[in-house]
Structure 1
Amino acid sequence: MNTRTDIPSSSSSPPPTHPWTYEVFLSFRGEDTRINFTDFLYTSLRQKGIVTFRDDEELERGKPIAPKLLKAIEESRFVIVIFSKNYANSTWCLDELVKAVECMNMMGQTILPVFYHVDPSDVRKQKAHFEEAFSKHEEAFKDDTKRVQNWRDALTEVANLSGWHLQDE
């Protein structure tokens, strides 16, 4: 049974302004968090009846982001972005983030950042692991500086949102 918290329960109520397919879209770097934090979060959300999109397919390196992922972001009420040490190494993750920011600004989705063993200021300012990733991206995408700048802008914008900072203990 899919629980849709954004749809009024009364049949006489007007339909929602956005027909969300998913309540939550999870954006994460699979090798960092898939088998621990993300699995736990996904399972917990599903157990609460929250319709959640998590891409479980292996993504082919160097290929453009899959249209189904972009569509799932557009159709999700909330996007939970799990920033981890290697998040910015993935052009897939960065492309998802740019799309999520576009949807937030144009269609009203809410982005909820989780800083998983990374400092929010490192994400915001692209320092530490994020700086290393962007050095590589700037070299690899020297003919597409606008794309790299869009990634930087999206990271800064989302890192400025209130979120959760999970640190090593």
Structure 2
Amino acid sequence: MGVFDKSKCDCCVCPMQCVMQQLINIPDTRVFTISAEQVGIITSVENFLATINVGGIIRCFPICNVTAVGNNVLGTKTQLKPVRKDMKGECSCCEDPATNELATLVNKTVEINYLTRPGSPLSRLIGTVAKAGEGIVILTDVTNPFGAEVSNTAISTCQINFIEIKPQ
């Protein structure tokens, strides 16, 4: 899972790097950033940079710009960094409240709106909260209100605009 000193990266970038490392060489992995959606194979993840093979084209993404990743191998067995309670700093005002709320919603259906490419129908996902860890929530049984193709998704909680709790 890696050990990271407290820094601006510890609440969302380090946890996303840990998730992406578990997706190396898994086909059909979706990587979402604020400006792009890519489907390919993650070939390496280190030093806060992910390398992705998209149809033979190699692309590198700074992990700080990755808002979510999708692949059906994501689920309750995905290793996440444990939730930690900060008392100050960026994580305590943005990431911690969203992560703490999502941790109480495990096995519940939610709709999450998160940052991704403008106009993307995949900025809103409905799914079951499978697991919440430091800076990350994993949704399973994912659907999309716009009918777009989706898979289980790990979303950076720093990138969430809203969480809507669906009636059970």
TM-score by length of 1: 0.28
Greater helix share, structure number: 1
For the pair shown, the structure with the greater C-alpha radius of gyration is 1
TM-score by length of 2: 0.28
